[in-house]
Structure 1
Amino acid sequence: MTEAGRPDRRSRHSRHAADRRRSRVWPILLSLALVAAAVAGGLALHRSSQDDQNAADGDGGTTAIDLAARSAAVDQVLKRRAQAVLSGNEQEFVADVDPADTGLVARQRTLFTNLRQFGFAKLAYQQLAQQYDDTIAQKYGPSTYLVAVAMQYQISGIDLVPVRAMLGYTFSRRPNGTWMLVSDSDLDKRLPRGSHQEAWDTGPVLVKRAPRVLVVVEQGQDALADSLVTMSQSAVKAVSKSWPGGWNGSGVVIALDDKVVRGADYSQPKNAEDALAMATFVYRTLPGEATGEGQRADSYVVINPHNRTKVDARTLAHEFTHVATAPYGSYAPRWLVEGAATYVEFLPMDGQKDLAISQYRLDVRTKYLAKAKALPADATFFDQADSSYPLSWLALDYLFNRFGGTEVGTLYRELASLGVTQKDRDRIMLEHVGMTEAGLFRALKAAAAA
């Protein structure tokens, strides 16, 4: 047994098993911080009608006509590209791509092949707002149109609702007045982290599916894909069975060689060394559209390419618990978020050896609870991960056993959606379990003493 590892589970990576708890979620928090910074930094997603009117007033209204014509023409390009993916027409997909840029055309063909594998039930592209960059304008000429684009999609059998990702496209007008795509990467560094750099935006990929499961690997890695599909099916079943009220969502697992995919950044040394996987948010509305953080719909799991051989079904059950709870909101205390995921991870699972929970409970009380002064705090949770994860598990173990899954599930939902301040958290805790977070810690101490 490792300090924060699974009870009575002799991991061949014992130190890693302890460290992986530390790094699973803090990179996601970093992603949210970067999202806020990107939005605050001036990537406007909406342009007011007054802005358009000001532009029109500059030349007696001619600009307004040009803007309207350009917007309509680009809308048609975007509509053709979406329809081409849905219908399987590669030539139509690249018809509006600059034919002189053979590298861009080749990348777009790869993108088309990738997109086709995901099986979209719905797909559309929507212009958000023009962006401005003199360097880009000088490169492509006076007609350059740099625009943020929302990709709205729903993967059949996976996404319960349509979700959105963000792109940046550069268009230029041809001599005949039509518009062509000349770049799809000029805005990448300005887009909010976690809402772009999707799995299909990398090199050639292989997508394999099963009911409620979708796995993405590098092209040619069939054995890895098959293994992850099997583990994902087991993990989806476990979370559906164990999470209060059930879970009818799906597990998306991305295991690519790329170190930066969606909100996961495994180029950071600490992430590369410690993390196994992390759940990255999928958005109903993009950061900066309706709210600064965006409205979450779900999560996709991204596996660390350095540690993918260490992932098992229990790892995915932990991450899929985060997927199941992602739509609730972002305000739940960290001990509840990670404690719930670890609680489900440790439960009996098909095809997995049962864990020695009674002994683990005793060990946590002896090694960690005896020295602790309070439940793990959000601000220091990952700095003290070796104790934070087992103590969080112990808190959830207590809550589930004393109050039952229905009450715990309701508590989680309300804390995640409404627990903005400590006062809010205390009120919600008192309402549902008759004690504050401090009271829960005292109850853990009393149970250990008994």
Structure 2
Amino acid sequence: MPNNAHPEDSETFAIPVLGNPANRRPTTSPPPPAPGYGQPRPPSQPGRPPSPPQGPPRTPARSSVNPVLKWVTVAFGGIAVVALGLMVFGIVQTVSDDPLPVAGKGGQAIEITQADVSGLMKDHSQALTGGDKATYLAPFDDGSAALKAKQDSLFTNLRKVPFAVSEYQILNMDGRAVDHYGAGASASVDVAFVHQVKGADASPVAELYRWTVEKKTADSDLQVTSVGPATPEIPGYGEMTNYPAPWDAYDSMAVTVKPHTVIMTDSDQAADAKRYAPYIEQAAKDNLAVWEAEGPKSGQTMPGFVVTLEKNRKVYKHMYRAGTGQEDDESIAEAGVSIQMPAVAAGGSKARVNLQNGGARIVMDSAESRFTRSDYASSVLEISHHELAHTMVEPLTGPDGQAQLWAVEGFADYMAMRDDPAAASRDVKALKAYYASSAADPFDGKLPLSDDFHSTIDAENSAHYTLGWLAIQFIADKYGEDKALAFVAEQYKNPKAMDAQLTKATGMGTDEFQSAWADYVRKQIS
């Protein structure tokens, strides 16, 4: 409800919204003289801390949960993954047909109805898909010059993206009686921009806005006078609104489209995107090929990847995370983050969506050392293999929470190290040096707990990443890569069945597996 609304004058129509429970994970950049990917982050899922001349370190993420929403961040050498969980399937409009009560003049009420707003959404959607800029901008005619300019650039940016689906839907509407005689009606409307990037998203997903709409006379069209992120009070959404996307953040956006990747950046950074795009695309092809050849045949994975490259740290942390604790947390120093987005139904359908996560939005800090070093090719491939691995398996996520981080981060590092023996050797040497140092306790033979990935000590956090990687590597070496990938898929689907999943993959329960894995690790670091 707007701050200037009076409780006695207002009427709220809540519209339960889209999505399925999911988790967000952040990733980070590679470690210093050791392995790693990112710097520590807030309660969400961890990522790798920052890295040395050879690759940025790794940083942990954290998970914050409210009764309806859970987001987690997982980082790889400076990369993070974030997942948003919603409790409702589909965008369900349960708004009353009654208009929002408002004062009128001359005895005639000025009303903003559900039909008015639905009509605005329909016209706006059709204008976007049809390339009709005049109609798209018409609702902003009464707004400020800055608002009109921003919507103009938004339209231009959106038209550059290869969408399979792009439409606006109502989430929540809060109206009030206008207490100035004849001033007209006003309402705050939470709007979902439901979209699916062609070849990248597994299903439609949504970015959430809040619009202020006004109607000056009974016969006038609705006008939008302000646009920003949706309020965090929307049931089922928590603080994550996936706003701003690059199309909101940039006055002019450059888009580089490859067969498996869509890379967005500020037009001023277009040269960077073109420079790194071949390596990001190669990582996408590699990951998808490995999963197709050795992964389980059941279950859906992400067909492609949406990536934003941003070298301004403030803009990087703001991207998709406006209003969240992550945005202003100085302890977050990951090199990249992948923000998972719940699957939603297009067309206002109330149909159940079968996926938890329908897409992910990866953001990487292109000012980070793995991008700026002279021999950036291998390090950009490494961070991309890791981050895209997180994203690739997100559609496998089940409704029962977050997979164990040693499996999540171990899998992502496994994909990063799989065809990079130099990086694998570097990380093993760093692990050996860590346990040989006076700063660390001796290796205790225990798989790292998920909380262990939130360490703010880079070397410690990097060690946990490497231990997770060695767990997946152990399964692949001893029982086959197909068994390792099947275990990862099952863990994403049902995190609570770890013991049964390990038994299926290795013939050993958790305790026996941990003991055998510990012997494997000791041989690596002896």
Among candidates 258, 261, 266, match of residue 213 of structure 1: 261
Among candidates 300, 310, 324, match of residue 392 of structure 2: 324
Check if 1:225 corresponds to 2:273.
yes
Counterpart position of 2:447: 375
Check if 1:414 corresponds to 2:468.
no
For 2:516, the aligned partner's letter is A
Among candidates 146, 152, 169, match of residue 194 of structure 2: 152
Check if 1:433 corresponds to 2:506.
yes
Among candidates 327, 340, 345, match of residue 416 of structure 2: 345
Give per-residue Cα distances to partners, 1:152-180, cap 9 Å, x unaligned: 11222322322222221111113223211
For 1:202, the aligned partner's letter is A
Check if 1:120 corresponds to 2:163.
yes
* Higher mean displacement: 247-256 or 184-193: 184-193
For 2:357, the aligned partner's letter is R
Counterpart position of 2:4: none
| Alignment partners' CA distance in 2, 1:174 and 1:198 | 31
Give per-residue Cα distances to partners, 1:402-438, cap 9 Å, x unaligned: 2222222222222222124xxx322332333233333
Counterpart position of 1:355: 422
Check if 1:174 corresponds to 2:216.
yes
Check if 1:131 corresponds to 2:174.
yes
| Alignment partners' CA distance in 2, 1:141 and 1:187 | 25
Quote the offset at 1:360 in angstroms.
Answer: 5.3
Quote the offset at 1:112 in angstroms.
Answer: 0.4
Q: Return closer, same or farther for 1:333/1:137 CA change in 2, 3 Å cut-off.
A: farther
| Alignment partners' CA distance in 2, 1:2 and 1:415 | 32
| Alignment partners' CA distance in 1, 2:493 and 2:510 | 17
For 1:372, the aligned partner's letter is D
Among candidates 59, 65, 72, match of residue 22 of structure 1: 59
Quote the offset at 1:129 in angstroms.
Answer: 1.9
SS of corresponding position for 1:185: strand
For 1:432, the aligned partner's letter is A
After the TM superposition, which residues 46-445 of structure 1 pair with which residues of structure 2 at under 5 Å, given as runs?
52=96, 70-131=113-174, 143-175=185-217, 176-185=219-228, 187-188=230-231, 192-204=239-251, 205-243=253-291, 244-245=294-295, 249-256=303-310, 257=312, 258=315, 259-263=317-321, 265=326, 267-271=328-332, 274-285=333-344, 295-304=356-365, 306-307=367-368, 309-310=371-372, 312-329=380-397, 330-348=401-419, 354-355=421-422, 357=424, 361=428, 364=431, 367-368=434-435, 371-383=443-455, 384-420=460-496, 424-445=497-518
Contact 1:46 1:129 in 2 (8 A): no
Higher helix share: 1
Per the normalisation by structure 1, the TM-score is: 0.79
Counterpart position of 2:47: none
For 1:283, the aligned partner's letter is P
Give per-residue Cα distances to partners, 1:343-394, cap 9 Å, x unaligned: 1101226xxxx42646855764685496134111012222141310111111
Counterpart position of 1:61: none
Contact 2:33 2:430 in 1 (8 A): no
Give per-residue Cα distances to partners, 1:110-138, cap 9 Å, x unaligned: 1101111112222111112213689x998
Give per-residue Cα distances to partners, 1:14-67, cap 9 Å, x unaligned: 189463x224xx15x359899559999xxxx86756xx4899999xxxxxx998
SS of corresponding position for 1:345: helix
Per the normalisation by structure 2, the TM-score is: 0.69
Contact 1:31 1:263 in 2 (8 A): no
SS of corresponding position for 1:74: helix
| Alignment partners' CA distance in 1, 2:500 and 2:408 | 18
Equivalent pairs, count? 414
* Higher mean displacement: 275-284 or 236-245: 236-245
SS of corresponding position for 2:33: coil
Quote the offset at 1:236 in angstroms.
Answer: 0.7
Quote the offset at 1:214 in angstroms.
Answer: 0.9
| Alignment partners' CA distance in 2, 1:331 and 1:414 | 12
SS of corresponding position for 1:169: strand
SS of corresponding position for 1:123: strand
| Alignment partners' CA distance in 2, 1:113 and 1:213 | 20
Counterpart position of 2:33: 2
For 1:388, the aligned partner's letter is H
Q: Return closer, same or farther for 1:39/1:333 CA change in 2, 3 Å cut-off.
A: closer
SS of corresponding position for 2:139: coil
Quote the offset at 1:266 in angstroms.
Answer: 5.5
Higher RCO (CA-CA < 8 Å; seq separation 6+): 2
Quote the offset at 1:444 in angstroms.
Answer: 1.8
Contact 2:176 2:187 in 1 (8 A): no
| Alignment partners' CA distance in 2, 1:337 and 1:388 | 12
SS of corresponding position for 2:268: coil
| Alignment partners' CA distance in 1, 2:100 and 2:247 | 38
For 2:392, the aligned partner's letter is A
| Alignment partners' CA distance in 2, 1:343 and 1:94 | 48
Contact 1:331 1:417 in 2 (8 A): no
SS of corresponding position for 1:96: helix
For 1:429, the aligned partner's letter is L
| Alignment partners' CA distance in 1, 2:179 and 2:196 | 34
Question: RMSD in angstroms over aligned alpha carbons?
Answer: 3.9
Q: Return closer, same or farther for 1:407/1:13 CA change in 2, 3 Å cut-off.
A: closer
Quote the offset at 1:305 in angstroms.
Answer: 5.8
SS of corresponding position for 2:500: helix
